[in-house]
């Protein structure tokens, strides 16, 4: 009979976390319930809404579609770590300035996905921004202000006049 619990070591926002986890525990549940990092949200739980978005070894993933045991030895960055490091301060400020959030449920995932796009550099078109964020559902804003905010940050980072 295979083991149900597994010892894993994960770097979460740069801090080592050692835990014994149930094989079926998802990464987002591990982050929220074991690591106490509730910025990653749980919405659809089947890879559609993007609320659970986090980074694993630098790549944006769905936290509900990965198991915690798959992250043994990996570096996981959550919205808490990315925000605390200052990496997305300009993006957070742009979201606030342009009312790009209402309930905020989608916002952590939206910010991480937007940062992924912005990290590629240049100034993406509004269509490219919409396409990139199409995997992150927002039920409140209608997306216009979100696209405005991401576009404004892209221009600012590229040194292009708004």
Binding site for ligand FES (CB under 6 A): 42-45, 47-52, 62, 64, 101-107, 138-141
Measured from the CB atom, is 45 or 87 closer to ligand FES? Answer: 45
Q: Compute the least distance from the CB of residue 42 to ligand FES, in Å.
A: 5
**Residue keyed to tokens 């912005």:** 118
Q: Compute the least distance from the CB of residue 121 to ligand FES, in Å.
A: 26
Measured from the CB atom, is 45 or 123 closer to ligand FES? Answer: 45
The token pair that represents 14 in the structure block: 């740069």
Q: Compute the least distance from the CB of residue 99 to ligand FES, in Å.
A: 10
**Count of Cβ atoms closer than 10 Å to residue 136 Cβ:** 21
Q: Compute the least distance from the CB of residue 77 to ligand FES, in Å.
A: 16
Three-state SS string across 15-73, please?
A: EEEEEEEECCCEHHHHHHHHCCCCCCCCCCCCCCCCCCEEEECCEEEECCCCEHHHHCC
Measured from the CB atom, is 104 or 121 closer to ligand FES? Answer: 104
Helix (H) or strand (E) holding 12: strand 5-12
């Amino acid at each position: 009979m295979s083991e149900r619990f597994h010892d894993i070591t994960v770097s979460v926002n740069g801090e080592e976390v050692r835990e014994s986890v149930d094989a079926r525990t998802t990464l987002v549940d591990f982050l929220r319930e074991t690591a106490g990092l509730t910025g990653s949200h749980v919405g659809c739980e089947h890879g559609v809404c993007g609320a659970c978005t986090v980074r694993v070894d630098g790549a944006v993933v769905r936290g509900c579609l990965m198991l915690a045991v798959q992250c043994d030895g990996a570096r996981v960055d959550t919205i808490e770590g990315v925000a605390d490091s200052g990496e997305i301060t300009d993006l957070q400020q742009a979201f606030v300035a342009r009312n790009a959030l209402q309930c905020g449920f989608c916002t952590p995932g939206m910010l991480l996905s937007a940062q992924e796009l912005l990290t590629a550099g240049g100034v993406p078109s509004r269509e490219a921004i919409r396409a990139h964020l199409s995997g992150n559902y927002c039920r409140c804003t209608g997306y216009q202000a979100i696209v405005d905010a991401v576009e404004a940050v892209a221009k600012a980072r590229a040194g292009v006049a708004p």
